[in-house]
Structure 1
Amino acid sequence: MRIFISVDMEGITGLVDADDVQPGGRDYERGRTMMAEDVNAAVRGALAAGATGILVNDAHGPMRNLLPEALHPAARLVRGKPKQLGMLEGLTGEYDAALCVGYHSRAGALGVLSHSFMGHEIEDMWLDGRPVGEIGLAHATAAALGVPVVALTGDDAACAEMTEWDASVVTVPVKYARDRFAAELRPAAEARAAIEEAVARALSQDPRRPAPCAAEATLTVRWQSASVAATLLGIPGVTAEDPRTVRASGPLPALYRQFGVWTRVAASLTNQPPYC
């Protein structure tokens, strides 16, 4: 059984603030340790369920957060950027299941460090008319590759978002949002034990391959800046809904890959910190 783990940082045990998750932040180095421990708990759960191959993709920010020497030796690590599939780099139909560790809720949600890919630069996103953030887009893209997402860890808002998207996914709340930069924390040992148990249970349920997806999906993004939207219209297939909202259609995961180009264009134009 081959398992893919996409690990973000905002939904990691104990982390609540930009200083916990951004390079240079006063608690970033501690955050990296906490990130590794949550991932290692997921790896242990996967091994307990019979995993024979585990690939971990560092999916947060610079994508160089996980220290290789801190990762469980049974897992391989994809580190650095750019990556053609971003948060899902390395995922193919050869994997039996995917896990989302340390994920967060989408822009506008009252969740810990909530945003959609780019701090506040992206105001809203929709996939086929359905509100979406990093959780839903990762789930849909994995499904298009034929891989089920079977477990997610993060704060309670992220867990609720995943349950709304797909109630069959096992979720593990490691903290409970009090506001965007505040949470009630589960004790670290308790949270990691819960992650390990939930992953083992989710993978032991013989994950079913997703049903075939529609041949084409439509992704719509409303940006804070009309400049970003106007620039993206130079990409073939991108059309405007209004001065700040663009859309494009195509098959997943190709559409997910194109969205990665959009975010790189936006980053080059805005130069804003993620949580300002």
Structure 2
Amino acid sequence: MRVYISADMEGVTGLVGADDVQMGGRDYERGRVMMTEDVNAAARGALAGGATEVLVNDAHSTQRNLLVDQLHPEAALVRGRPKPMTMVQDLDAGFDAMLCVGFHARAGTLGVLSHSFMGHEIEDMWLDGRPMGEIGFAHATATALGVRVVMLSGDDAACAEMTEWDGGVVTAPVKFARDRFAARLLPSAEAWKEIEEAAAEGVRAAAEGRPAEPDDAPRTLAVRWQSASVAQQLEGIPGVRRRDDRTVETEGPVPALYRLFGVFMGVASSLTGQAPYC
């Protein structure tokens, strides 16, 4: 049984601020340790639940955050950037289950380090009119590929967002948001136990359930940017149109939309250069 882990950082045990998750931040190195421990807990749980292969994708920022020499010895790793499919790089229909570790709530939500992909540059995103952030886009992409999302860890806001998206996903809240940069934390050992147990439960459910069916139906992706300049430049991409001065939309199968969205972010980064979490 093949299991895929997408690992973000903002929802990791103990982390609450930009200095915890950004390269060069005063607590970033400690944050890397905590991220690696969360992923290891998920890998242990996946293997206990029946996984025969575990692939981890380092999906945060530079995508060089996980400590390779401290990663679970049975977990392979996708590391570095650029990656055409960023947070779901190397995910394909051959996987039986996907775990989301260290995820966070979407932009505009009062969750720890909440945002959608680019700090404050992206104000809102929608898939077929449904509000969406990184959680929803990852879930929709995996589902379209025929892979079941079975587990998510993060703060309580991220867990609630996943439950709203798919009530069948097992969640492991490791902290409880008090504001965007403040939370009540579970003790680390307890958090890692919760992640491990949730991962095992989710993988067992995937093994016992029916495989998901791939879906290549066209969907509509819309993104509202802070800057009208970004929307104007993106309109130059074939198939992309402006809904208003700051919102663009386009259609296609979800995996193709995910890859195209990576191009959107490249354009936006070249135009703005603003740091996240401002």
Give yes or no for TM over 0.5.
yes
User: CA contact under 8 A between 1:97 and 1:207: conserved in structure 2?
Assistant: no
Distance 1:90 1:66 in 2: 17
Q: Is residue 49 from structure 1 mapped to residue 29 from structure 2 by the alignment?
A: no
Question: 1:223 is matched with which residue?
Answer: 225
Q: Is residue 66 from structure 1 mapped to residue 66 from structure 2 by the alignment?
A: yes
Opposite residue 273 of structure 2, the aligned amino acid is N
Matches within 5 A, 1:153-192: 153-192=153-192
Distance 1:4 1:43 in 2: 9
How far does the alpha carbon of each residue in 1:187-244 deviate from its partner, in whole angstroms, 9 at most, with x for none? 0000000111111111112243334436101100000000000000010000010000
Distance 1:94 1:238 in 2: 31
Question: 2:195 is matched with which residue?
Answer: 195
SS at match of 2:254: coil
Distance 1:150 1:95 in 2: 12
Opposite residue 242 of structure 1, the aligned amino acid is D
Q: What displacement does 1:37 show?
A: 0.2
How far does the alpha carbon of each residue in 1:160-199 deviate from its partner, in whole angstroms, 9 at most, with x for none? 0000000000000000000000000000000000111111
Opposite residue 203 of structure 1, the aligned amino acid is V
Q: What displacement does 1:49 show?
A: 1.1
SS at match of 1:220: strand
**Identical aligned residues as a percent:** 69
What TM-score, normalized to structure 2? Answer: 0.98
After alignment, is 27-36 or 213-222 more displaced? 213-222
Matches within 5 A, 1:1-80: 1-80=1-80
SS at match of 2:56: strand
Opposite residue 227 of structure 1, the aligned amino acid is S
Question: 1:251 is matched with which residue?
Answer: 253
How far does the alpha carbon of each residue in 1:124-145 deviate from its partner, in whole angstroms, 9 at most, with x for none? 0000000000000000000010
The unaligned stretches of length 5 or more in structure 1 are none
Question: 1:136 is matched with which residue?
Answer: 136
Q: What displacement does 1:252 show?
A: 1.9
SS at match of 2:196: helix
SS at match of 1:209: coil
Distance 1:117 1:252 in 2: 17
Report how many aligned residue pairs link the two structures: 276
Distance 1:20 1:221 in 2: 28
User: CA contact under 8 A between 2:145 and 2:214: conserved in structure 1?
Assistant: no
User: CA contact under 8 A between 1:175 and 1:184: conserved in structure 2?
Assistant: yes
Distance 2:112 2:86 in 1: 22
Question: 2:265 is matched with which residue?
Answer: 263
Distance 1:195 1:52 in 2: 19
SS at match of 2:220: strand
How far does the alpha carbon of each residue in 1:72-106 deviate from its partner, in whole angstroms, 9 at most, with x for none? 00000000000011100010100000000000000
Once superposed, which parts of structure 1, at least 4 consecutive aligned residues long, lie more than 6 Å away? none
User: CA contact under 8 A between 1:241 and 1:247: conserved in structure 2?
Assistant: yes
Opposite residue 235 of structure 1, the aligned amino acid is I
CA-based RMSD of the aligned residues comes to 0.8
After alignment, is 236-245 or 198-207 more displaced? 198-207
Distance 2:48 2:238 in 1: 47
User: CA contact under 8 A between 1:148 and 1:208: conserved in structure 2?
Assistant: no
SS at match of 1:253: helix
Opposite residue 78 of structure 2, the aligned amino acid is V
